[in-house]
Amino acid sequence: DAGVTQSPTHLIKTRGQQVTLRCSPISGHKSVSWYQQVLGQGPQFIFQYYEKEERGRGNFPDRFSARQFPNYSSELNVNALLLGDSALYLCASSLQTRANPGQGREKLFFGSGTQLSVL
Amino acid sequence: EDKVVQSPLSLVVHEGDTVTLNCSYEVTNFRSLLWYKQEKKAPTFLFMLTSSGIEKKSGRLSSILDKKELFSILNITATQTGDSAVYLCAVGGGTASKLTFGTGTRLQVTL
Per-residue confidence at A100, pLDDT binned at 50, 70, 90?
low
d(CA A49, CA A93): 9
* pLDDT at A119 > cutoff 90: yes
d(CA B21, CA B14): 15
* pLDDT at A103 > cutoff 60: no
* pLDDT at A106 > cutoff 90: no
Distances (CA, A) of A118 to A14, A36, A42, A86: 5, 14, 20, 5
A112 neighbourhood in chain B, CB within 8 Å: 40-42
Distance from the Cα of A18 to chain B's closest Cα (Å) equals 23
Per-residue model confidence (pLDDT) at position B4: 97
Per-residue model confidence (pLDDT) at position B15: 97
Contact at CB, B42 and A90, closer than 8 angstroms: yes
A3 neighbourhood in chain B, CB within 8 Å: 42
d(CA B93, CA B75): 24
Whether chain B has a CB inside 8 Å of the CB on A74: the answer is: no
Whether chain B has a CB inside 8 Å of the CB on A25: the answer is: no
B103 neighbourhood in chain A, CB within 8 Å: 40-42
* Pairwise pLDDT comparison (B83 vs B51), residue with the higher score: B83
HSE-up of B39 (CA within 13 Å, CB side)? 8
A96 neighbourhood in chain B, CB within 8 Å: 97
Q: Which of B48, B98, B102 lies closest to A42 in CB terms?
A: B102
The chain B residues in contact with chain A (CB within 8 A) are 4, 31-32, 34, 36, 40-45, 48, 88, 90, 92, 95-104
* Number of helical H runs and strand E runs in chain B: 0, 11
A42 neighbourhood in chain B, CB within 8 Å: 4, 88, 90, 101-104
* pLDDT at B28 > cutoff 90: no
Instruction: Say which amino acid occupies A72.
Output: Y
